[in-house]
Amino acid sequence: MSETQKTSRLGGLLITSTSAWGFVWFVNGNLVGWMENSLCFKYLGCNVGFFGYDALVHFLAGIMEAVFILWLAKKFPKFDFFSQPNTDSPLTEKNFLKNAVTLIALVALLSIGWEFLEFGYDQARINVFHHDLLYPTNSLRQAGNADTMGDLFFSLLGAAIMTVAPKFFDKKRLTANADNLENI
């Protein structure tokens, strides 16, 4: 399989993960009455969407960020900070642990940055625009420390799954399918 095809496969995965995240985020959990299922939303006013919506968005964001970092490293070799002795994949057996920790740490950095943005958004709405975000419903983006920790946990879980997932793919089958496409 050529380098272009491998980058193309990561590009396709990037488009798919970004589309899934974007759909869930922009739909905002309001599709087909899912929001009515959330007792948290109905009684406490915390986060919009169906039950578990916030966790799903952050989980998909963790996957998307991990794929983006891998795609960036493949597409622009200058930005490739993964340890690669003589291979074409950053997640090889020899350097797997080091590269997995690096990838998850980068996703953690992006997730922490996002949480800072959510906190800053709430602070600006309260202190600059003087919006009453607690009455009649709690419309804070950061409902508290538990929300922040949950957001970070699900982002890192998505990144960890994306890091380990290639280890479970049947590489011979995947490359055989790609080779068959070349013969068409």
Would you say residue 172 lies in a domain? yes
Q: What is the DSSP string of 96-107?
A: HHHHHHHHHHHH
Would you say residue 79 lies in a domain? yes
Can you tell me the distance from the alpha carbon of 154 to that of 160, in angstroms, rounded to the nearest whole number?
10
Q: Please state the pTM of the whole predicted model.
A: 0.73
Percent of the chain residues past pLDDT 90, beyond the cut: 20
Structural domains in the chain (count): 1
Percent of the chain residues past pLDDT 70, beyond the cut: 62
Would you say residue 64 lies in a domain? yes
Would you say residue 66 lies in a domain? yes
Q: Residue 13 CB: number of other CB atoms within 10 A?
A: 19
Would you say residue 67 lies in a domain? yes
Would you say residue 183 lies in a domain? no
Would you say residue 184 lies in a domain? no
Please give the structure tokens belonging to residue 113: 């940055």
The parent domain of residue 77 ranges over 3-178
Would you say residue 99 lies in a domain? yes
- For the ranges 72-76, 88-92, 132-136, 174-178, the maximum mean pLDDT occurs at 72-76
pLDDT digits (tens, 9 = 90+) for 82-134: 876 655 555 556 678 888 899 999 999 999 999 999 888 888 887 887 777 66
Helical H runs in 45-144? 53-75, 96-123
* pLDDT at 15 exceeding the cut of 70: yes
When comparing pLDDT for 5 and 66, which is higher?
66
